[in-house]
Amino acid sequence: MSQVKLFIQNVHHYRDAYLADETAPFDHVAIFDEAQRAWNLTQTVNFMQRKKNRPNFSQSEPEFLISCLDRHKDWAVVVCLVGGGQEINTGEAGISEWIDSLNRSFPDWHVYVSSKLTDSEYAAGKAFSDLEKRRNVFKKDDLHLSVSLRSFRAEHLSSLIKNLLDLKIDEARINYEKVKKKYPIVITRDIVKAKQ
């Protein structure tokens, strides 16, 4: 169990370790699950001032985390696992801040990105357009996990919800026909009916 704890580390512990130590991390690879939840510049600066006594901190959480791995002279990899269609809480930057950080501060990094990141559910928008302008960007279909690992048995249900949110009614009807026996789904705009 202790070996697993060394391997998997809370991102905030990782951050704190490399605030104090400006050498390259021991690891050459970092995987950030729920990467869309990393803090934007305002939230990070505020936290660093209040909790870490760092009044002059000037990076968003993604930019700082990439900068830690950028300390390696040979190579490093950052893997960002991003969930689509998730509401972002106050101070959470979304995947666009990871992209903006790369564009702003790390022009020499090679970027491999899912070709599906352009979907509206990822809210990458302008950042993704800017990313496409730089060199060393590679779009790969294989980097997209089309069905959530948490709901692999409900592939058509996930598609139904996405198609409903995207107002693709014909596709949603097809998905609904595939799941209606297994999942009792109703749609209403009436909150009283929904509660019933």
Q: How far apart are CA 43 and CA 52, in angstroms?
A: 13
- Which residues on adjacent β-strands are paired with residue 29? 77
Higher pLDDT, 161 or 63: 63
- Residue closest to 30 by CA, chosen among 45, 10, 16: 10
Q: For the full predicted model, state whether its pTM sits above 0.75.
A: no
Q: Do the Cβ atoms of 163 and 185 come closer than 8 Å?
A: no
Q: What is the pLDDT of residue 122?
A: 55
Please give the helix or strand (H or E) that residue 17 lies within, else none: helix 11-20
- Residue closest to 52 by CA, chosen among 20, 25, 21: 20
Q: What does the chain come to in residues? A: 196
Q: What is the pLDDT of residue 6?
A: 56
Q: How far apart are CA 154 and CA 151, in angstroms?
A: 5
- Which residues on adjacent β-strands are paired with residue 39? 92
- Which residue, chain included where needed, has tokens 């590679």? 138
Q: What is the pLDDT of residue 41?
A: 94
- Which residue, chain included where needed, has tokens 């996990």? 145
Asked if residue 2 has pLDDT above 60, the reply is no
